[in-house]
């Protein structure tokens, strides 16, 4: 069966304007354009739109969706299996947050006592899922499923005090790194202090620290545009500066300095 833009829009709930935009950026092209100029979509395009909507629901950007759909050997069956897993995870997170809110209401009424750890349980799970969506594929490929799963389990078990310490170190790191970057010297005192803060921050969330792991992250910060953007927002070129500073820091550790 074939659909015009308006018919596909009514069936899917996606606005005609959005469908035209997807065509313009190459995310979802019509199977053909009629002599009247109308875009015509077939079954394959309907299936692709369904995949796009699943990925959008799970929080993927349009650029990421385009890369996933264009990947060599894209497996629709596997994609659906992954969608199902992600949706189950999302439901689990929502159930946790609902339970958290219900416990908070009961605690405010004096019906139960709620620990500080309980108050943050849902938010830590949300952070884990966000990291998986944004960086999971790359990190698992580089360090393996076991290492990532252990890191996620460690994060989920953090106390409020440990979590707050991680946030404190992250903010200190960003301030120190900003100042160090302006010196232009990755081997300088400020840059090396920033690297030590970076190490401390990593150790909060991953107790199995090693200089090889540290250096590997530095390279990933430069190689992956998403990591790079996270540090280049501090200052353009900051990701490369941090990578160079980490290499010096880890080299000095190896030398016993």
Give the H or E element holding residue 136: helix 116-143
- pTM for the full model? 0.47
Give percent of the chain with pLDDT exceeding 90: 42
SS3 39: strand
Distance from C-alpha of 169 to C-alpha of 199, rounded to nearest angstrom:
10
Most confident of 105-119, 131-145, 171-185: 171-185
CATH topology of domain 3-70: Multidrug-efflux Transporter Regulator; Chain: A; Domain 2 (1.10.1660)
Q: What tokens were used for 96?
A: 């946790």
Owner of token pair 């990933």: 220
Give the span between the Cα atoms of 131 and 224, in whole angstroms.
Answer: 14
* Alpha-carbon separation of residue 141 from 34, 59, 64, 77, 129 (angstroms): 44, 21, 17, 21, 17
Whether 239 contacts 179, CB under 8 Å: no
Q: Which sequence spans correspond to the domains of the chain?
A: 3-70, 76-155, 159-255
Per residue in 160-188, pLDDT tens?
788 788 889 999 999 999 999 999 999 99
CATH number of 159-255: 1.10.490.50
pLDDT digits (tens, 9 = 90+) for 194-232: 999 999 998 888 777 889 889 988 998 898 887 888 899
């Amino acid at each position: 069966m074939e659909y015009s833009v308006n018919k596909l829009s009514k069936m899917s709930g996606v606005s005609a304007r959005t469908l035209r935009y997807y065509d313009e950026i190459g995310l979802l092209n019509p199977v053909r354009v009629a002599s009247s100029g109308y875009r015509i979509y077939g079954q394959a395009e309907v299936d692709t739109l369904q995949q796009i909507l699943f990925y959008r629901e799970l929080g993927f950007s349009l650029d990421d969706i385009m890369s996933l759909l264009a990947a060599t050997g894209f497996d629709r069956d596997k994609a659906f299996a992954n969608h199902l897993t992600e949706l189950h995870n999302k439901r689990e997170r929502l159930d946790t947050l609902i339970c958290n809110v219900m416990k908070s209401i009961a605690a405010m009424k004096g019906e139960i006592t709620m620990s500080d750890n309980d108050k943050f349980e849902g938010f830590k799970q949300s952070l884990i899922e966000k990291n998986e969506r944004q960086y999971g594929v790359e990190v698992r490929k580089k360090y393996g499923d076991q290492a990532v799963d252990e890191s996620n389990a460690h994060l989920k078990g953090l106390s409020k005090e440990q979590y707050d310490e991680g946030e404190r170190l992250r903010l200190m790191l960003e301030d120190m790194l900003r100042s160090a970057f302006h010196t232009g010297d990755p081997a300088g005192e400020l840059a090396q202090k920033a690297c030590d803060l970076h190490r401390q921050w990593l150790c909060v969330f991953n107790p199995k620290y090693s200089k090889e792991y540290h250096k590997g992250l530095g390279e990933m910060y430069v190689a992956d545009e998403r990591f790079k953007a996270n540090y280049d927002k501090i200052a353009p070129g900051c990701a490369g500066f941090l990578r160079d500073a980490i290499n010096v820091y880890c080299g000095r550790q190896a030398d016993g300095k």
